[in-house]
Structure 1
């Protein structure tokens, strides 16, 4: 509630969707947004509970007749929220960038570990319940609990952790993710592109789905009380060949000479990768796009190529004047004119004429 008040009243931030840097640093702050993980993604999470450091004293002698020496070791127990939707499991875990748990579930440092998958009927964690009188169950939140993690390898402090969170057993389709985020407000078929991994967050649903729309070439279209997913696929409407057409072109400088696309690369442990596509026109500037989605390098390069080709095609705009039979054509509709595919961005009705941009 405090975060909503801050955003709406005190200091609107203008932030819409997730950013590439969001998943790197572990937090422990109140009001921190917890992402909804789809596919498989590496996330830092948010520490939601912890004990004080657990100190263990050990006395010993280096040898017979030697004085007694005392050594101390430290451990910590804590819980980390990972996803605001149910997950299938957790794979590898990194501590301060080094592997803490391998893909086979082998631990490099001694610790107890429990994973709560985020079901709506999960019970409170027994360790938290033994410390807190009214321990919450965090239903609907997937979280991990470490019990007595030994801290000697981390300078006797809780390390910064990142987790390979498996949100879905198989990579979901982009359209399914978009509709799940919309919770009934987003309708329409497709896109069918698989999503290797996505941690949805941000200030709005529109911002959360924008990355997936960019990846798939989709756009959002008002459809009554809902929003429909639009794509330049299927059977587009064919405009009357007798329509009055006026065409315009933006100058060549409007198209970037190159486009760089940043993304999470699963083959590099979800580190940020960059793919670059070159334009075919005479532009001089370079455009940089952050796409906070897990994409294989080859797929990310294809998306970069598609985006710069889309920029080149968007130099051309057209105004079509039709009769009243075209009154149902709404912005966002894909239409075919003179053999080319166009997207309607504006529709105006005046008398018996319909003008489409």
Structure 2
């Protein structure tokens, strides 16, 4: 009876392991699969393929792979004509998985470690269990012919935006989390009919991919780095480590002479064999390195450099640089020892000895593993391989440099929208509406905007991709007459993100409009900004009531007012897309938004509103006539200090002087010049009817009146 034990670095398994188990029931074998037959060459980056008949890999632990495109729609133009989108399904693995981590598209992150898509669209993941249902989107397209792809892990991208990829489907690869607990031989051998007991740990191996072949091919890839023994019995298959050196080993009997001329059974009963030829020393290992986003990396073995072509092992597993270097050196060391083999003949064998055991032989201090034996009439011929303790020292491994794409988490959009005063450029009839959009993290890349009116949405363009500097006041703004620089006043604000920054401005820069802020409707400027930590800033040296917002400054504001820096990070909106202007709201939808963000537009027609008059004057002539005078301002001077004649920028110069409440005046007078004369008799009548009532004036523009200016009391 002859039994071959698969061992010896360099011996390959010659058939499916499942078939071997059936043939070897009741026998014990040691299975140390060698380098030959390694069929898992590494690729630089595994990308999604769509070729018919492409094998679908099995993944274990955590690996990066491309998968196979199994369904796709045609490219569809977006409603706002900003580009195209597509819906696709990608098969990831031929066994169930736990989940999907990061996703790369054209080498850049499409999905981050927090599960956030970096572009528009949605993602559904099907882990591949036997009870999963068909995807509803594929079902809508394929109808009753829709498969559930049970036993196959796959994902579906719905309406994936392609504008970032040249309006084409990008090259995709996925971080596939197949097993939370790492790689195990029991899971790898699951397709076998026989039960498998896993006693072979795989230290340092965080992921493994099998792209072709059966279980035997996977074991063939693993065994050089993780040598294993295979014991087959009536109860099933047991896989255990074959590189464990026992503290004590059984001694074989003395070699027995025989008359046989068989080279494997020499007359002396013992023969040394050298199998490793010069230049065959294992010198390198290629593997997938998580520190390089699972791209292939290379480690070199320690020791002298031998002549000839180096022997490089290709290993389709995920290892750290340190683990790869250590495993390579251990494997190279074992291979060097295994070059020495021993043919040994004994007359009989102790029943406790089995193939795969570590033994000692007479007159030899070394340890030997029993790889093969053959029983015949003249005794038992054995083939043994020299073994020794694993090499424990290894130089530190280095993954090398890697320009990994930055994984910036995408946070929900925050938005405020408001009308701006006219800046003197363009037509005085232009409506200026700005939106400040931002987020808590720098990964935010902008949002699509829509106008909402009575539940109906209409496209309004896109925001800038730069985050606006915005936040909320956390201290109140006291009332201010807004007549001079308030050097001792301050305001505390909480910005939406701690990495957003504010800066100081000189008096000259303030005069030119620097550090202008929209704050609850008031426009103010600040000269100094001091970071208090955690995104909190203290602003001081305030100029209040800018750009005609004196009335709001005079009222003051409680804490909690919206705050936005008026700079080039704001998004200017097309008023034609926001109708009706005085009632429509603005809706934003970004990649990190689980729900649409709605904002009312604060004072959308502000640019059409004249500035309130200034410099009120009231005096009485000798005959009792009350003279009221004021100075008008122009919308074009809202952000500057006028010199010379102030332009009107209205079709007609008109004013309304109002008695009593501005919202519902008790009486009013319309005039076309900045003054009003009230006779003594008129004053007497008004005084008796409305004693102490206030007189105010507003300038009437082409569209809206200005805020009122208080003139005097009766």
TM-score after normalising by structure 2? 0.43
- Structure with bigger RCO (C-alpha 8 Å, 6+ apart): 1
Q: Tell me the CA shift for residue 344 of structure 1.
A: 2.8
- Looking at structure 1, the residues matched to 252 and 195 of structure 2 have their Cα atoms a distance apart, in angstroms, of 33
The answer as to whether partners of 2:370 and 2:382 remain within 8 angstroms in 1 is yes
Corresponding residue number in structure 1 for 2:135: 125
Tell me whether 1:204 sits opposite 2:214 in the alignment. yes
- Looking at structure 1, the residues matched to 40 and 282 of structure 2 have their Cα atoms a distance apart, in angstroms, of 24
Tell me whether 1:287 sits opposite 2:300 in the alignment. no
- Looking at structure 2, the residues matched to 312 and 255 of structure 1 have their Cα atoms a distance apart, in angstroms, of 12
Tell me whether 1:158 sits opposite 2:169 in the alignment. yes
The answer as to whether partners of 1:247 and 1:319 remain within 8 angstroms in 2 is yes
The answer as to whether partners of 2:186 and 2:198 remain within 8 angstroms in 1 is no
The answer as to whether partners of 1:276 and 1:301 remain within 8 angstroms in 2 is yes
Corresponding residue number in structure 1 for 2:41: 19
- Looking at structure 2, the residues matched to 217 and 258 of structure 1 have their Cα atoms a distance apart, in angstroms, of 15
Q: Tell me the CA shift for residue 49 of structure 1.
A: 0.6
Query: Bigger CA drift: 76-85 or 250-259?
Result: 250-259
- Looking at structure 1, the residues matched to 275 and 214 of structure 2 have their Cα atoms a distance apart, in angstroms, of 34
SS of the equivalent of 2:213 reads coil
Query: CA 1:22–1:136 in 2, change beyond 3 Å: closer, same or farther?
Result: farther
Partner residue of 1:172 out of 161, 168, 183: 183
The answer as to whether partners of 2:92 and 2:154 remain within 8 angstroms in 1 is yes
Tell me whether 1:42 sits opposite 2:64 in the alignment. yes
The answer as to whether partners of 1:279 and 1:309 remain within 8 angstroms in 2 is no
Corresponding residue number in structure 1 for 2:446: none
- Looking at structure 2, the residues matched to 284 and 224 of structure 1 have their Cα atoms a distance apart, in angstroms, of 47
Query: CA 1:23–1:345 in 2, change beyond 3 Å: closer, same or farther?
Result: farther
Corresponding residue number in structure 2 for 1:233: 244
SS of the equivalent of 1:346 reads strand
Partner residue of 2:120 out of 110, 127, 130: 110
Tell me whether 1:215 sits opposite 2:225 in the alignment. yes
Q: Tell me the CA shift for residue 213 of structure 1.
A: 1.4
Partner residue of 2:374 out of 348, 352, 355: 348
RMSD value, Cα: 2.9
- 1:16-70 Cα distance to aligned partner (Å, 9 max, x none): 6433129612111222211122111111010111111112354xxxxxxxxxxxx
Query: CA 1:282–1:155 in 2, change beyond 3 Å: closer, same or farther?
Result: closer
Q: Tell me the CA shift for residue 72 of structure 1.
A: 5.4
SS of the equivalent of 1:119 reads coil
Bigger share in helix: 1
Q: Which has the larger radius of gyration?
A: 2
Tell me whether 1:320 sits opposite 2:344 in the alignment. yes
Report how many aligned residue pairs link the two structures.
331
The answer as to whether partners of 1:56 and 1:73 remain within 8 angstroms in 2 is yes
- Looking at structure 1, the residues matched to 39 and 372 of structure 2 have their Cα atoms a distance apart, in angstroms, of 26
Query: Bigger CA drift: 235-244 or 122-131?
Result: 235-244
The answer as to whether partners of 2:183 and 2:208 remain within 8 angstroms in 1 is no
Corresponding residue number in structure 2 for 1:30: 52
TM-score after normalising by structure 1? 0.82
Query: Bigger CA drift: 339-348 or 196-205?
Result: 339-348
- Looking at structure 2, the residues matched to 252 and 140 of structure 1 have their Cα atoms a distance apart, in angstroms, of 44
The answer as to whether partners of 2:270 and 2:342 remain within 8 angstroms in 1 is yes
Corresponding residue number in structure 2 for 1:266: 290
- Looking at structure 2, the residues matched to 227 and 341 of structure 1 have their Cα atoms a distance apart, in angstroms, of 26
Structure 1: which 5+ residue stretches go unaligned?
1-13, 59-70
| Structure 1 residues 177-188: aligned runs within 5 Å | 177-180=187-190, 182=192, 184=194, 187=197
Corresponding residue number in structure 1 for 2:151: 140
Q: Tell me the CA shift for residue 211 of structure 1.
A: 1.8
The answer as to whether partners of 2:186 and 2:196 remain within 8 angstroms in 1 is no
- 1:168-197 Cα distance to aligned partner (Å, 9 max, x none): 112233x33443354537556323535301
- Looking at structure 1, the residues matched to 122 and 61 of structure 2 have their Cα atoms a distance apart, in angstroms, of 26
